[in-house]
Amino acid sequence: MIFKVKSIMKKPVITASLEDSVLKASQRMQQYGIGGLPVIENGKPVGIITSRDVRCSHPNRIVEDAMTKELIMINQDASIWEAYEVLEKNKIERLPVLENQQLVGMITKSDLLVELGKNTDPLTGLNTSGFIRFIGETLLFEGKEIIVLLFDLDDFGQFNKKYGHVTGDKCLKIISEVLSRTILPETDYLCRYGGDEFVIITTRMKDEVVNWAKYLLTSIEKEVKNNNLLIQVSVGISANQQKPIPNNEASALLDNLINNASLASSKAKKEGQSLLMVG
């Protein structure tokens, strides 16, 4: 799984100089089949000239007088999701990539979309387990206290057999929509974890999470009832104590948290409950 910009950036970087002509820059873009060149002065990036800049400028001009001076860049250790968010927010197509303030690569929107597509569930449009693992390990490494909620559809296999897979898919989409519109981007991270499981990693306070989970269950119940779908959902919740975790231990700890949440969900189901919290 590829989650960091450095894994998919293109290198070496093809660049232009301030005093190059726009015509020369255009020819270089054509030669390498690329749509933009970072502009370098004294070894540092000072702007970018894109095919759009070339179209809007006289070919006799120098790059300095045609380039976009406001240069937005990204660190090579940023996640692919963060990089995509930067591109969308700034309405740009490419980002120069830095390591210790040195230009080391380029990443484009199309590079990111390919990788993001591999981490997106085609049915619900949610991120898949790779995303939640990346987020979880990062938060643990940063010493954040996280709580894992695992939502499990009860007897989903039987539901599919009885009502058909199309109805089953409809059910999954409805639940994913309820969860998507209820989470907050600053605290909650959602994914479709397995066939009939959804995981939320949250940095909300422990005493808030149980009530919030109950609210989510009620919202789901209301929505599936409105659509005449006879399905129940259980949620298991597990929490960790805040302390910085070495990067090589974060993965194992996250495994435990997700596993515990899964077991809690199963136990809740067996005991006729819809929610159980452990840890």
- For binding to another protein (CB under 8 A), which residues are involved? 18-19, 56-58, 60-62, 64-66
Q: In the numeric block, which tokens belong to residue 21?
A: 């002509």
Which CB, 39 or 92, lies closer to another protein? 39
Please give the Cα distance from 1 to 123 (Å, whole number): 20
221-229, long-range: CB within 8 Å, 24+ apart, which pairs? 223/174, 223/175, 223/177, 223/178, 224/171, 224/174, 224/175, 227/170, 227/171, 227/174, 229/163, 229/167, 229/170, 229/171, 229/174
State the nearest-atom distance from the C-beta of 61 to another protein, in Å. Answer: 5
* C-beta separation of 116 from 201 below 8 A: no
Please give the Cα distance from 208 to 203 (Å, whole number): 10
For 187, 240, 279, the CA distances from 244, given in Å and listed in that order, are: 18, 11, 18
State the nearest-atom distance from the C-beta of 69 to another protein, in Å. Answer: 10
Which CB, 58 or 225, lies closer to another protein? 58
State the nearest-atom distance from the C-beta of 141 to another protein, in Å. Answer: 45
State the nearest-atom distance from the C-beta of 68 to another protein, in Å. Answer: 13
Entry field: residues in the chain = 279
* C-beta separation of 94 from 109 below 8 A: yes
Q: In the numeric block, which tokens belong to residue 48?
A: 């970018």
State the nearest-atom distance from the C-beta of 244 to another protein, in Å. Answer: 48
State the nearest-atom distance from the C-beta of 223 to another protein, in Å. Answer: 52
Which CB, 58 or 206, lies closer to another protein? 58
